[in-house]
Chain A
Amino acid sequence: MEGRKLRNMFGSSAETEAKEQSAAEKAQGQMARDVSVTATTTEAPTAAPDRRAKTLVATSVDLYYGDFHAVEDVSMTIEPNKVTALIGSSGCGKTTFLRSLNRMHELTLGASVKGGITLDGEDIYHRGVDPVQVRRLIGMVFQQPNPFPTMSIYDNVAAGLNLNSGRTSKSTKDEVVERSLRGAHLWDEVKDRLGKPGSGLSGGQQQRLCIARAIAVEPEVLLMDEPCSALDPVATLAIEDLIGELKSKYTIAIVTHNMQQAARASDNTAFFNLEESGKPGRLVEIGATETIFTKPTQKATEDYVSGRFG
Chain B
Amino acid sequence: MSAPPPPDFSGLDPELATEAAGVGGRGTLLGSSASSGLLPGWAPYGVFAAALAFCAAVLAALGIFTIALMLVFGAVVAVFGIYAWSRAVEGSRRAKDRAITMAIVAAFGVAMAPLISLLYEVIKRGVPGLSAEFFTEDARGKISGGGAEHAIVGTLVITGIAVAISVPIGLMAAIYMNEYGTGKLRRALTFFVDVMTGIPSIVAGLFAYALFEIFFGPGIRMGVMGSVALSVLMIPIVIRASEEVLKIVPNHLREASYALGTPKWKTISKIVLPTAFAGLVTAVMIATARIIGETAPLLVTTGVVDSLNTDPFGGRMQNLAVYAFNEYRSPGIDKAASYDRAWAAALTLIAIVMILNVIARLVYRRYKTEIR
Query: Interface of A with B (CB < 8 Å)?
Result: 102, 104, 107, 109, 132-137, 139-140, 142, 144, 146-150, 159-160, 162-164, 199, 210, 213-214, 217
B 265-296 to A, binary, CB cutoff 8 A, 1 in contact else 0: 01100110011010000000000000000000
B 330-372 to A, binary, CB cutoff 8 A, 1 in contact else 0: 0000000000000000000000000000000000000001111
Given the complex, which residues of B lie within 8 Å of A150, measured CB to CB?
Answer: 271, 274-275, 277, 369
Q: Output the least CB separation between B64 and chain A (Å).
A: 58
Is the CB–CB distance between A142 and B270 below 8 Å? no
Given the complex, which residues of A lie within 8 Å of B176, measured CB to CB?
Answer: none
Given the complex, which residues of A lie within 8 Å of B53, measured CB to CB?
Answer: none
Q: Output the least CB separation between B250 and chain A (Å).
A: 8
What's the dominant secondary structure at chain B's contact region?
helix
Is the CB–CB distance between B369 and A164 below 8 Å? no
Given the complex, which residues of A lie within 8 Å of B67, measured CB to CB?
Answer: none
B66, CB-defined interface residue at 8 Å: no
| CB-contacts of B27-50 with A (<8 A) | none
Is the CB–CB distance between A149 and B261 below 8 Å? no
Other than the given A142-B252, A160-B262, 15 more pairs (CB < 8 A) read A104-B255, A104-B258, A107-B255, A132-B258, A133-B261, A137-B261, A140-B255, A142-B259, A146-B250, A146-B255, A147-B256, A149-B275, A149-B372, A163-B260, A163-B270
Q: Output the least CB separation between A66 and chain B (Å).
A: 12
Given the complex, which residues of A lie within 8 Å of B260, measured CB to CB?
Answer: 135-136, 139, 159-160, 163-164, 213-214, 217
Given the complex, which residues of A lie within 8 Å of B371, measured CB to CB?
Answer: 149
What is the bound-complex CA distance between A147 and B253, given in angstroms? 8
Residue B259 contacts which of A109, A133, A199, A214 (CB distance < 8 angstroms)? A214
B182, CB-defined interface residue at 8 Å: yes
What is the bound-complex CA distance between A265 and B259, given in angstroms? 23
What is the bound-complex CA distance between A109 and B186, given in angstroms? 14
Is the CB–CB distance between B261 and A217 below 8 Å? yes
Q: Output the least CB separation between B182 and chain A (Å).
A: 6
Is the CB–CB distance between A163 and B262 below 8 Å? yes
Query: Interface of B with A (CB < 8 Å)?
Result: 182, 250, 252-253, 255-263, 266-267, 270-271, 274-275, 277, 369-372
Q: Closest B-chain residue to A200, C-beta based?
A: B370
Closest 3 CB pairs of A and B: A136-B261, A140-B259, A149-B369
The A/B interface has a contact count, at CB < 8 Å, of 80
Q: Output the least CB separation between A159 and chain B (Å).
A: 6
Residue A102 contacts which of B259, B270, B277, B370 (CB distance < 8 angstroms)? B259
Q: Closest B-chain residue to A134, C-beta based?
A: B261
Given the complex, which residues of B lie within 8 Å of A102, measured CB to CB?
Answer: 259
Q: Output the least CB separation between B261 and chain A (Å).
A: 3
Is the CB–CB distance between B370 and A148 below 8 Å? no
Given the complex, which residues of A lie within 8 Å of B253, measured CB to CB?
Answer: 146, 148-149
Is the CB–CB distance between A104 and B270 below 8 Å? no
Is the CB–CB distance between B261 and A135 below 8 Å? yes
What is the bound-complex CA distance between A147 and B255, given in angstroms? 11
Is the CB–CB distance between B256 and A107 below 8 Å? no
Q: Which of A104, A134, A146 has the most CB of B within 10 A?
A: A146
What is the bound-complex CA distance between A119 and B371, given in angstroms? 35
Given the complex, which residues of B lie within 8 Å of A142, measured CB to CB?
Answer: 252, 255-256, 259
A-B contact pairs, 27 of them (CB 8 A): A102-B259, A104-B259, A107-B255, A132-B261, A132-B262, A134-B261, A135-B259, A136-B260, A136-B261, A142-B252, A144-B372, A146-B253, A146-B256, A147-B256, A148-B256, A148-B257, A148-B271, A148-B275, A149-B369, A149-B371, A149-B372, A150-B271, A150-B369, A159-B260, A160-B260, A160-B261, A199-B370
Q: Output the least CB separation between B258 and chain A (Å).
A: 6
Given the complex, which residues of A lie within 8 Å of B277, measured CB to CB?
Answer: 150
Q: Closest B-chain residue to A141, C-beta based?
A: B259
Given the complex, which residues of A lie within 8 Å of B250, measured CB to CB?
Answer: 146
Given the complex, which residues of B lie within 8 Å of A159, measured CB to CB?
Answer: 257, 260
Q: Which of B262, B275, B369 has the most CB of A within 10 A?
A: B262
Q: Which of B256, B257, B262, B263 has the most CB of A within 10 A?
A: B256
What is the bound-complex CA distance between A214 and B257, given in angstroms? 10
Q: Closest B-chain residue to A147, C-beta based?
A: B256
Given the complex, which residues of B lie within 8 Å of A149, measured CB to CB?
Answer: 253, 275, 369-372
Q: Output the least CB separation between A150 and chain B (Å).
A: 4
What is the bound-complex CA distance between A142 and B250, given in angstroms? 13
Is the CB–CB distance between A163 and B266 below 8 Å? yes
Given the complex, which residues of A lie within 8 Å of B263, measured CB to CB?
Answer: 132
Residue A146 contacts which of B252, B270, B370 (CB distance < 8 angstroms)? B252
Given A104-B255, A149-B369, decide whether A164 and B262 contact each other with a Cβ distance below 8 A.
Answer: yes
Q: Output the least CB separation between A277 and chain B (Å).
A: 25
Q: Which of A109, A132, A136 has the most CB of B within 10 A?
A: A132
Given A149-B370, A150-B274, A163-B270, decide whether A210 and B257 contact each other with a Cβ distance below 8 A.
Answer: no
